[in-house]
Amino acid sequence: MKITYRANAVRRLAPIAAAVLTLGTAGAAMTTIAAAPASAAYDCPGGTFCGYDGANGTGSMIVQVDSMCVLHDIGNGGVGDRLTSYWNRTGKTVGIYNWTGQEWQLLASVPDNTRGTLSHNVDNMADAVKVCD
């Protein structure tokens, strides 16, 4: 299963699994959550940040966001606490955050053109990714 987040594009890719969130940011970007087939390891288009629920870019892609400067709340999208690996191709730094119940806690700062697996102490804790952190 592949979950795709696209800022500024609202598309209904899978009618049963699709849900739309409005992000409270300047410009009020729209995000679409849709189920799609699993991808090959580290399959991530240029200009995006991709997150996976398996190590080394395997398993389901649970988040894919463009390079627009915004916080993408993946927890509210139903895929919080599942991020294990990532590939940042946004051209910007991406912050990976956990919601503690009171504040956003930075788990990792991912420079552009970096891919890898989160350390075991922050694995499956992410609730948001923020491009241009």
Predicted pLDDT of residue 17: 31
Secondary structure letter of residue 55 according to DSSP: G
Q: What are phi and psi of 73, to 5 degrees?
A: -85, 90
Q: Which residues of the chain have pLDDT under 50?
A: 1-39
Determine the Cα–Cα distance for residues 59 and 83; give it in Å rounded to an integer. Answer: 10
Predicted pLDDT of residue 40: 63
Determine the Cα–Cα distance for residues 123 and 11; give it in Å rounded to an integer. Answer: 29
Determine the Cα–Cα distance for residues 71 and 65; give it in Å rounded to an integer. Answer: 10
Beta bridge partners of 95: 109, 130
Residue 99, both tokens: 């919601």
Query: Domain-by-domain residue ranges, the chain?
Result: 2-131
Give the distance from CA 32 to its chain's centroid.
12
pTM: predicted TM-score of the whole model, two decimal places: 0.71
Q: What angle do CA 92, 97, 102 make, to 5 degrees?
A: 140
Predicted pLDDT of residue 133: 66
Predicted pLDDT of residue 132: 87
Predicted pLDDT of residue 84: 98
Does CATH place domain 2-131 in 2.60.20.10? Answer: yes
What is the Cα gyration radius of the chain? 13
Give the count of beta carbons closer than 10 Å to the beta carbon of residue 103: 8
